[in-house]
Amino acid sequence: MSVPMSAKESVFHFPSGGWFWIDTHAQRERDALTAELKASLAREDALLREKSNLLQRQDMLAQEFEHRLVNSLQIIVSLLSLQSRAAGPEAAGQLMVAANRVASLGRVHRGLHLLDHQESVEFKQYLENLCEDLSGLLFQGEAAPTIGVEGAKTEIPTVFAIPLGFIVNELITNSAKYAKSNITVRLETTPTFGHSLSVLDDGPGLPAGFDPSASKGLGMKIIGSLLKQIDGELKITSGENGHGARFAVTFRSPVLETNRI
């Protein structure tokens, strides 16, 4: 019996006399696709290695930039402090205020530098470390006011912790300057309102009709800019029992883990 066979087919005979045919064109297509797939996978692997190397170089540059920034801030603090010694009383006071602000900025950066390569941070512990640094800077003596931290252990994304660290720094510095009293930093989380980060003091409070958006102070402008980064809102009210002031920042972010203590 004759076997029909096209140019795309080949006949193979078994020793026993049987036969079968295969489509050699389809086989060549499969071989070509397999080779193309292997080549594509090799190119993708090379691109992934190149991307990994690029990310490593970027991380190294970012770390180097951070180190240089902190070192530069320390130099600026030293220069401002030296300059204040040669200035008159009023100018010296202003220079020391600037030096303290730059120093606190450097401490916040150092604290944030510990969060490198971390997607989240245990925020209460971070706040405690930050407040300890600020307390040593702003208050001295046995009878000096204190800065306490209250709330839950809460994991939040690092991208929120960075601007919040600067906001707390500004609010505590402001309270220490005007209230001259104990300061409490309170972190609260509710399913309805999200996160609330408050700075409370026992000072004389704020003037009636105080509008933070109309403030010309640099601190409030810095806070306003940072709030935009986290889509947050600042509310200013009287403190507990009507005494002092309460600065509350509300914001929403994924709650990774919360343990009330």
Sign of torsion over alpha carbons 233, 111, 136, 186: positive
CB 187 within 8 A of CB 149: yes
Return the C-alpha torsion angle 160, 166, 171, 173, nearest 10: 160
- Helices 158-178 & 123-138, crossing angle to 10 degrees? 30
CATH number assigned to the domain with residue range 120-261, chosen from the 4 options 3.40.50.300, 3.10.129.10, 3.50.50.60, 3.30.565.10: 3.30.565.10
Q: Where are the domains of the chain?
A: 1-117, 120-261
Q: Return mean pLDDT, the chain.
A: 77
Distance CA 33, CA 212 (A): 66
Three-state DSSP state, 13: strand
Task: Please report, in tens digits, the pLDDT of each residue of the chain (261 residues total).
Answer: 554 555 455 555 555 555 555 556 677 777 788 888 888 888 888 888 888 877 777 666 656 656 666 667 777 777 777 778 778 887 887 788 777 767 766 776 676 666 656 788 888 988 998 888 788 777 766 677 889 999 988 888 888 888 898 899 889 988 888 888 889 999 998 777 788 999 999 888 877 767 766 666 777 888 888 899 899 999 988 887 778 899 999 988 765 444 444
pTM above 0.75, yes or no: no
CB 233 within 8 A of CB 134: no
